[in-house]
A and B are shown apart, each in its own frame.
Chain A
């Protein structure tokens, strides 16, 4: 069975850690060039779902995926897939930013340098371009050669976004990218997401309901180890189908107001 190049889909997937199911009965077809937000309480499996899309859990013993996960026309847990090619197409922003103990500059071009070692001349331009895209350029332009460990948490987060963007992924997975940012840089990231979604598919796990309202096209709501509710963002917020969803949304809005 061959799927189209842009397909991104779960078909009846079950994810287990050491035999203990975390997510079951997942079936969902992500729409392309759109922002899909994954909502759900802490521990509901958002991170797990994102990581399963680029096989980041391969090194974890006891992690098992049953069912089919289709990314860009390939079933990725089928043995023949080229994981490096796959991961290159799928960028991931982790929940807590992880910065290498080198300079800011080296961090931005880390992935690019690996994939295009021959385009050495372009490195500075690349660094500048993606730092600008991640709205970090103005803050770091005169400390590019300084250790990146000294950046603030929010700056680190944007640095790791720039680093992921620099390898030009088609799909971007973001695990609560704005959790540690101030409203201004958080806005900046939202703008960034808007501009990115024209070319890329973005899947974002988040707790922030106000933000979800602003940027989401589609919504996945995880509850009780499965997809509890899904649909277009507008409908989801206007007419939540289920009781639990309503409670989650209200709990969210009452605590944020």
Chain B
């Protein structure tokens, strides 16, 4: 009946099957309900013109004028910065920990990483406001240290341990035979890693990056404290200007707009954009993976 499920007559008597179906169904239902809520509540905004909403920079609840341009721009910039900053450290750290550290050192390393992965956003936010934005201000000679750049770096630091520990898990769970085979062919340990281990760990690594990315896209408190909070798209690619991204906008205005009115609809529309964006990113990731697999 369901060709995508492994065929099996006794499935109905299998206690695991129904509980897993239930769990998966719950996840699916949450996502469906949540996303339809997002799109339903943001309908009034789409009615006024999708393109205008996406590109306009003007956001004025007093006049009921809403444009998401600045927030979309800010989210793109901040997230890319965070990823660019975090990836090299995270991947090198994961490789080092899983391939070249002794088991004991690896445990210590992982402990530290997981603790930092678990450190609350608000703690990073405190640090960002108290230190990072001051450094950025002094180092680049700015009037104010709350910029897109600061937010991007802070997010990068924040998602670094998450990506690192998950990528490390993915690399570490590749069976030893792959390494042994490659080593026996005369490859150096590093080459063995790139040629034999990395391709097998790739799905896990991409998953780790996507999870980190998601955290960067959705983090509210930490970003709010350091991004500056101005709805503008700076001229050129000026990273050192204050800005706004979607979560920080939501964090700032959602409490006052909650429940009803055009303002609320516009905020929900921002959420819907973010949701759609992630959906597409993930689809792209899966597509990449699948193309490699075939």
Contact = CB atoms under 8 A, between A and B. Distances in A.
Interface of A: 58-59, 79-84
Interface string B1-21: 000001111100000000000
Contacts of A84: 10
A207 B6 CA distance: 32
A80 B7 CA distance: 10
B7 A82 contact: no
Contacts of A79: 7, 9
B7 A58 contact: yes
A232 to B, nearest CB: 36
Contacts of B10: 82-84
Contacts of B7: 58, 79
Contact of B6 (A58, A80, A81): A58
13 contacts: A58-B6, A58-B7, A58-B8, A59-B6, A79-B9, A80-B9, A81-B9, A82-B9, A82-B10, A83-B8, A83-B9, A83-B10, A84-B10
Contacts of A81: 9
Main secondary structure of the interface of B (DSSP, over half): loop
Interface in B8-51: 8-10
B203 to A, nearest CB: 16
Given A79-B7, A83-B8, 12 more contacts: A58-B6, A58-B7, A58-B8, A59-B6, A79-B9, A80-B9, A81-B9, A82-B9, A82-B10, A83-B9, A83-B10, A84-B10
A6 B193 CA distance: 51
A16 to B, nearest CB: 15
A84 B9 CA distance: 10
A81 B10 CA distance: 9
Contacts of A59: 6
Contacts of B8: 58, 83
Nearest to B8: A83
A245 B7 CA distance: 38
A84 B7 CA distance: 12
B138 to A, nearest CB: 54
Nearest to A80: B9
B180 to A, nearest CB: 13
| Closest A-B pairs by Cβ, 8 of them | A58-B6, A80-B9, A59-B6, A82-B10, A82-B9, A83-B8, A58-B7, A81-B9
A79 B6 CA distance: 12
A188 B37 CA distance: 68
Nearest to B1: A79
A79 B5 CA distance: 13
Nearest to A55: B7
B152 to A, nearest CB: 41
Interface in B183-200: none
Contacts of B6: 58-59
Nearest to B11: A83
Contacts of A58: 6-8
A83 B7 CA distance: 9
A221 B6 CA distance: 31
Contacts of B9: 79-83
A20 to B, nearest CB: 14
Interface in B154-192: none
A58 B9 CA distance: 12
Contacts of A80: 9
Contacts of A83: 8-10
Nearest to A96: B177
Nearest to A61: B4
Nearest to A85: B10
Nearest to B177: A96
